[in-house]
Amino acid sequence: MKKSVIAYLVFSLTVLSTGIVWGFTESNGNNFFGDNAGLSNTTGFGNSFFGANAGRANTEGRFNTIMGAGAGYYNVIGNRNTIMGYGAGHHNKSGGNSFYGYRSAEYNTSGFQNSYFGDSSGKQNDSGNQNSFFGFSSGFYNTTGYSNSYFGHSAGYKNISGFGNVFLGFQAGYNETGSNKLYISNTATDTPLIYGEFDNQYLEVNGSLNVNGYIQLALTDGNLPPETDCDESSEYGRMMVDQINEDVYVCVVSGWKTIKGKK
């Protein structure tokens, strides 16, 4: 019995001297585990912090789950975040985010409703919102970009402020810095297998395309298509069908060429 009491006292003194809080639960439903985890919490409730300095600066944040040494360290008033991994969301002060992985979204401050999964995914994000990055270092340099979807190792790696992009595949869109772009690729090439521009309703296939079925062309009613739709080299090869005269119009160097359909 004496040995048990002594062991308990030693354990208690160790906890007090090191500042480790084991399973400390406040009346408002917080659970903090680890050295200085949730140290500054005042009115925040419904939080679970696991790891040394996890959620350390949190004061009013609610319903956060933060796991990992230094994870969510500066989260002060952010709500409904799920942050897991060493240093993940370290500077986060916003809400509705899901950060998973070593230093994922480490520098995020005001960005909200982001989902980052993978080692260093979205690491440099500052105020970018509503992004989805999945894969090692995906969206690494994104800082203010928003509404992007990157899936794959290093996808969208160099894009800083672009928005509305969709990059699918290993290093897809690695060098792209613009917005509203579509890349489907398995390399960092600037000519992916499938490229698109959402704002221009433009799709490009860099390779052979085999269609098992029909290709339906745009229609015109007895008139040549506009000359402005066939005055650049990027427009050569366009085709339209004249449903009145049953002709086919093809864009070539000299302009629209008519292929007569009626005999």
Of the listed ranges 74-88, 103-117, 208-222, the least confidently predicted one is 208-222
Does residue 20 have a pLDDT over 50?
A: no
**Predicted model pTM:** 0.84
Please name the residues in contact with 48: beta carbons below 8 A apart, sequence gap of 6 or more.
30, 31, 32, 64, 65, 66, 67
Instruction: Delimit the domains of the chain by residue range.
Output: 218-259
Asked if the model's pLDDT at residue 17 lies above 90, the reply is no
More confident residue, 5 or 256: 256
* Tally of CA atoms within 13 A in the half-sphere of 192 that contains its CB: 27
Question: Which pLDDT value is given to residue 18?
Answer: 45
Residue 263 — pLDDT band, cuts 50, 70, 90? low
pLDDT category at 26 given cuts 50, 70, 90 is low
pLDDT tens for 164-216 read: 999 999 999 999 999 999 999 999 999 999 999 999 999 999 999 999 999 99
Sign of the C-alpha dihedral computed for residues 51, 57, 60 and 62 taken in this order:
negative
